Structure 1
Amino acid sequence: MAIGQVLGISDNSVNVTVKRIGGGFGAKIDQCNIISTAAALAATTIRKPVKIVVDLDTNMTIYGGRDPFYSTYKVGVDDQGLLQAVQATITSDSGYTGTDPNCPLAPDCVPSCYACPNFLVTPQFVLTNTSCNTYCRTPGTFEGVTLMEEILDHVAATLNIDPIDIRKRNLMLNGSTMRVNHCLLRARARLAGKEALAALKAPLTLTVPKNFISDMIDQLMTSADVDARKQAVAEFNQANRWKKRGIALMSMSWPHSVDLRYPFSVLVSINARDGSVAVSHGGTEMGQGINTKVAQVAAYQLKADMDVVTIRPTNTHVNANSSCTCGSKGSDVASYSVSEACKIIQARLDEVEASVGKKLPWKELILTAWNMGVNLSEKYENGPGEVKSYAVFGVACSEVELDVLTGQYLVTRTDLIEDAGRSLSPLVDVGQVEGGFIMGQGLLTTEKPIYDPTTGKKLSAGTWNYYIPTSHDIPADFRVTLLSNAPNPIGVLSSKVTAEPPVTLSFSIVMALRQAIASARKDAGTPGWFNMNSPLTVEVLQRLCLVDPSSLVIH
């Protein structure tokens, strides 16, 4: 569509084919049009093929990054720590233009899995002399969910109540409702416009039949032996001045919001000669496993072996008018549409077997159906409201050890449980949970953007001065579990999405670091709550520990 607009030609003159891309995480939703339209314009002008390859520095400079956030809050609680009112202002920096401001996506995510009778959350974005920023894995949602975790930790510290108890006391009840983020829906479906969204009567809330968090906390407390480890951390901190440990548990409810109009067009075709199945769907494979899940769903619904299923590249002819692959919805919606297409084909094949009076081997069944004139292809596109919104639950417990003198730290262990419903592909989902968690850890600790103070030019536009987590940063002991016996009745084959929710659970590392730093500050004679802004680089952590040089005496 962007190429057609720039060149002034009809969209049917443009054919885009995508086999896979090397990662996305949001920046390639619309910012990629800068490159694609430039290539198309050049090719049209000189009448020759044009290929543009963007190096990492240029990529990070052009596309920007995730919006930096600054949040302030007031909270009212009773003597038991029960939330009475939360007032917050969430500000994001969109760069020099508000192309994809993240802040409108945050407010409805602040409640997370907790109950409070009064919320007033105001989003706003500012413009600065920096490159424009863009969406990045769970934009706004991450900041909304983690803000509530920060608030609850502040309440716990002020009232001297165990942070885990504070969370348990404030959990939402079964049957509670969560707001559906209409700003998020409009941002993802801006082509439809506000009028179209209103005409579809998108619901304001979604109901959470069961809040799994209480059971998940109990399960994690047992499997991770949290109580014993908390006692061991307290004893370690009592005995050590220059090394401190912290352990923290957090929970979250991640709102999976699907636009009422969010089409993914698919085509499933079975070849008569050998029974091989070709599937083309409107999603984009970027390492999240969408092709694997789609192939598994197709094989399951057709009662065929995975070996006969192949995924064809996405293209704008077969999969016209498909939505962008983002917000964890790609695998979910594409799998749904493929499932429905395969159900229609399978119903035809069932009629064939019924007519011959016996069950046939796969190849023989397909050839028999073709000889009987049965259509072995089906195109399907999900309609308004077919794919449902729901909540994804998760809990995580992280333990850290911090060197007070240098600010270096080690994540000694992380235990994580995520609610994936009845997982479509457990190995893929566990990989997504692990990758999402580590990506969030980088955002919160090592990945510090640096700008020229005069020009606003981004200086950290490559791995020489922008540090992603490495093998020494990730948890030394990383235990990921998918919640069992929790099928999602409104999900695709009872499943739930997994790619974006675990990013928020990485905040458990920040919470554990806060405890370690608090112990160091207490030894330094400055107890109590303190502000702690991410990213928590080693320099920031060392300064927060308030080491007095006069105390560095060798006896």
Structure 2
Amino acid sequence: SGEAEYVNDIENLPNEVYGAFIVSTQGPAKSFTLDASEALKLPGVVALHTAKDVPGKNSYIFPMPSVGGVTDEPIYADKEVSCAGTPLGAIFAKTHALAHHAASLVKVTYHGVEEAQTDVRKIVESGDQSRLRLAAEKKADAVKTNVKHTIEGSHWFPTQYHFTMETQTCYSVPSEDGLDVYPATQTPSNIQDAISYALDIPHNSINVSVRRIGGGYGGKLLKSGITAVSCALAAHLLQRPVRVIMTLEENMEIVGKRPSLLSKYKVGVDENGVIQNLHVDYYEDDGVSQNDSSAGYTQYFMTSGIYDSSTWSINCYGVRTDLPSQTWCRAPASTEGISIVETIMEHIAHALKRDPTQVRMANRKQDDSPIPFLIEDLKKTSDYEKRAKAIENFNKTNRWRKRGISLVPMNYPFSYFGNYHSMVSVYADDGSVAVSHGCVEMGQGLNTKVAQVCAHVLGVDVQSVSIKPYYSIISPNVCPTGGSGGSESAVYATKIACEEIMRRLAPLKKENPKASWQEIITLAKAKHINLNASYMFTPSCDGKSYNIYGVAAIEVEVDILTGQHLILRADILEDTGVSLSPEVDIGQIEGAYVMGLGLYTSEELQYQDVTGRLLTNRTWNYKIPGAKDIPIDFRIVMRKNAPNPVGVLKSKATGEPPLCMSIGVVFAFRRALESARADAGLPDKHFEIDLPLTTERIWLYGGASAEQFQI
């Protein structure tokens, strides 16, 4: 009970200072100079830190090739400015407001400035091969020759900011053995690594603790090192407690986003829409480095889903743009990959005048996937066919309001990728239990699941279980929390640790079958039985890959005169196995799907053409979904009687897969707009949509013109 404490809620200490970044407003540039004289004159300003103040490696990236870390990214720019949004230094002062005011007074002079290249489409169109790299490729495994129709098109996938409740934040305090660091991060072990390399101090002098963070979505993986290393460096140099809290504007300008992507495709199909051959070239925005590039993974999700990809060939390119290094964002690569493939299926259906679901089923793998049954189940529970007919009639009788409906299936291949500890301690005097594990609670309900499973295994009330923060001494060398696997991994490690304690207590319980939990624990203490146990989850021993299935139907209504829209209803059937915590999982499904709706409809990032500076850096001009943007009627159903034989307690992950199905909102809009365009006299041909489908774009695609406005 009580308030949830985040990093910036930690009580202030005497002599504390705050940091604010000096952020480049343009780039790339060959060099730059700083004039901080006015800032340093201000009473209460303590220090200016730049690249020359870093005692070790000037990089917040740690050497971890499996996640990233291919290229060093400077804490502060040394000579060159790679792009707008690059930290050039930081001012430290006695208050947060003073630090930011002082940072704004620092004069920056840029030398050898070049025009920023921020748009993947323009780079691809220019033919500049120096900015392209082949990240992965897939060649067709089979040849089919019954080509009756050839279809060509392209698909633009938009970028997205990780809009978390808490911005990038860190608090560092000098201690007798080094530094106590409290970062808002999804990857505490790697923050310890990065601080060690940058400060040139041993890992055992860096004590990292994370109680919870205010949202992550992947934005607090590698990129949390920007704030954490800067903060730890200042605490180390000044020997004072230091807080660094990015403003929203700083966070949006400095930190990379979900990468945008351009795909070009050419597909040959037979008379039923079965793909005979498909060639896709896609170009994914890396930003200034490829550290967090998901370009190669996107191809994996394209070919590992529902459809037979034996005749597909794919070239995957990473594109170097003059933007901050792009990074993982909730359901990375899977969202992009499924978006590309489902767009192609829709295009085939339109070209052949066939039902999109029929085209999808004609192209599915011949396996034991439950997708066909899930589609039929959702169609029945959502009255899909009846509503589709009603929408057709509605559109015939309404010129300026149009509706559309779509159905998108999903097969999300899930794999574990990291090792995570859990330590369980039972206190003999009152029988209460404490758990510290190696994953990070970021709002996904991980700690709730851990507490529930711990209580279940030990046979105690969940109220007697307390989840403690992550501590680097308890959970060293752990992998980042992400990819939907953290909850299951922490739960599994906790379950095994609890089972070990129960194994030790078994002789006492056998001797005292009627004894209470408290009596057993008291006896255990008297007999010197160890009531502390730990376990490390590893994917090689404890986790097996599995598929997560889902189907989503969505209905929209569009005002053709204004471009405004309503999402009338969304139905999601999600395969969760045996849910560890149904209320938590339903919240995850809803949240992921709505995040996808924002990606495709309202969240638009715009950059200044010449300087590359982000123009949409606050909620005044970057619009996340609000109360009236979510489905009016939102129905979530978890698949019944489908335990996961290889999952933790027969469960499945839920944090990311639903986002992949949100592409359906684009197809529903397309149906509505096709009706409007037909009424406007436009030809019935496939039109490409520039995402996100903002109010302005919906109006433009509706085909309305002044000549049609008659009273």
TM-score (norm 1): 0.91
Identity, % of aligned pairs? 41
Which of the residues 656, 660, 663 maps onto 1:500?
656
Root-mean-square deviation over aligned CA pairs:
1.2
Matched residue type, 2:651 = S
Counterpart of 2:704, as a letter, is V
Distance in 1 (alpha carbons) for counterparts of 2:427 and 2:676: 68
Stretch moving more, 140-149 or 384-393: 384-393
Whether 2:196 is the aligned partner of 1:4: answer yes
1:368 partner letter: L
Residues 420 and 538, structure 2, Cα contact 8 Å, conserved in 1? no
Partner of residue 169, structure 1: 362
Q: CA deviation at 1:77?
A: 2.2
Higher strand share: 2
- String of CA shifts for 1:335-361, please: whole Å, max 9, x gaps: 11111111111222223212x151421
**Structure 2 counterpart of 1:326, from 452, 465, 482:** 482
Offset of 1:470 from its aligned partner? 0.5
Q: Which position in structure 2 is the counterpart of 1:342? A: 498
CA contact (8 A) 1:27 1:136 kept: yes
Quick one: which of 304, 307, 321 aligns to 1:114?
307
2:504 equivalent to 1:369: no
Q: Is the 8 A contact 1:84 1:117 kept in 2?
A: no
Show the counterpart of 2:241. 49
- Residue matched to 2:634: 478
**Equivalent AA in structure 2 for residue 216 of structure 1:** L
Aligned residues: 516
**Which of 223, 229, 236 is the aligned partner of 1:37?**
229
Q: Structure 1: how far apart are the matches of 2:370 and 2:539? A: 28
Deviation at 1:461, TM superposition (A): 1.2
Shift in Å at residue 331 of structure 1? 0.7
The CA deviation string for residues 14-41 of structure 1, in whole angstroms up to 9 with x for no partner, is 0010000110000111111111111111
CA distance, structure 2, for counterparts of residue 420 and residue 359 of structure 1: 37
> C-alpha deviations, 1:522-545, integer Å up to 9, x for none?
122221211112100011111111
Q: What pairs up with 1:381-400 in 2 under 5 angstroms? A: 381-385=536-540, 386-400=542-556
CA distance in 2, matches of 1:432, 1:120: 34
Q: Is the 8 A contact 1:302 1:343 kept in 2?
A: yes
1:132 is matched with which residue?
A: 325
Offset, 1:384: 4.5
After superposition, residues 72-111 of structure 1 pair within 5 angstroms as 72-111=264-303
Using the TM superposition, give the Cα deviation of residue 44 of structure 1 relative to its aligned residue in structure 2, in angstroms: 1.0
Paired residue secondary structure (2:283): strand
Q: Is the CA contact 2:422–2:536 (under 8 Å) kept in the aligned structure 1?
A: yes
Q: What is the TM-score normalised by the length of structure 2?
A: 0.71
Report the equivalent of 1:255.
Answer: 413
The one of 500, 521, 533 aligned to 1:378: 533
1:536 pairs with 2:536: no
How many Å separate the matches in 2 of 1:135 and 1:117?
28
1:299-331 C-alpha deviation (Å, 9 max, x unpaired):
112122211111000011011111100111111
- Once the two structures are superposed, the pairs formed by residues 52-451 of structure 1 within 5 Å of their partners are 52-111=244-303, 112-174=305-367, 210-259=368-417, 262-354=418-510, 356-385=511-540, 386-451=542-607
Q: Deviations over 1:374-394 (max 9, x none)?
A: 211111112351212211111
Instruction: For 1:109 and 1:402, locate their aligned partners in 2 and report how far apart those are by CA, in whole Å.
Output: 31
Partner amino acid for 1:362? W
Instruction: Report SS of the residue matched to 2:428.
Output: coil
CA distance in 1, matches of 2:423, 2:552: 39
Following the alignment from structure 2 to structure 1, what is the Cα–Cα distance between the partners of residues 493 and 374?
31
Aligned-partner SS, 1:504: helix
Q: Which string of whole-angstrom CA distances, capped at 9 and with x for unpartnered residues, describes residues 121-142 of structure 1? A: 2211112222222111011110
Shift, 1:438, TM fit: 0.5
Structure 1 counterpart SS, 2:644:
coil
Gap change, CA 1:486 and 1:384, over 3 Å in 2: closer
Q: CA deviation at 1:439?
A: 0.4
Is the 8 Å Cα contact of residues 288 and 320 (structure 2) preserved in structure 1?
yes
1:545 aligned partner: 702
* Structure 1: gaps of 5 or more residues: 175-209
Match of 1:15, SS state, is: strand
Displacement of 1:405 after TM fit? Answer: 1.5
In structure 2, which of residues 676, 679, 700 is the aligned counterpart of residue 520 of structure 1? 676
Check the 8 A contact 2:556/2:669 in 1, yes or no: yes
* 1:304 aligned partner, one-letter code: V
Structure in which a larger fraction of residues adopt helix: 1
Q: Rate the CA distance shift 1:496–1:345 in 2: closer, same or farther, 3 A.
A: same
- Residue identity in the other structure for 1:372: K
Match of 1:489 in 2: 645
Distance 1:62 1:96 in 2: 12
Q: Secondary structure at the match of 2:336?
A: helix
1:135-183 CA-to-partner distances (Å, cap 9, x unmatched) read 1101111010121111111111111111122222333233xxxxxxxxx
Q: For 1:385-423, what per-residue CA distance to the aligned partner results, in whole angstroms no more than 9, with x for missing partners?
A: 121221111110000111112111110001111111000
SS of the residue 1:286 aligns to: coil
Q: Which runs of 4+ in 1 moved over 6 A?
A: none
The residue type paired with residue 389 of structure 2 is Q
User: What secondary structure sits across from 1:506 in the alignment?
Assistant: helix
Indicate the SS of the match to 1:16: strand
Change (3 A) 1:443 1:384: closer
Q: Which amino acid aligns with 2:208?
A: V
Partner of 1:14: 206
- Structure 2: give runs of 5+ residues left out of the alignment: 1-192
- Amino acid corresponding to residue 342 of structure 2 in structure 1: E
Q: How far apart, in 2, do the equivalents of 1:504 and 1:483 lie?
A: 17
Distance 1:94 1:61 in 2: 16
Q: What is the SS of the residue equivalent to 1:284? A: coil
Query: How far apart, CA to CA, are the structure 2 residues paired with 1:489 and 1:75?
Result: 38
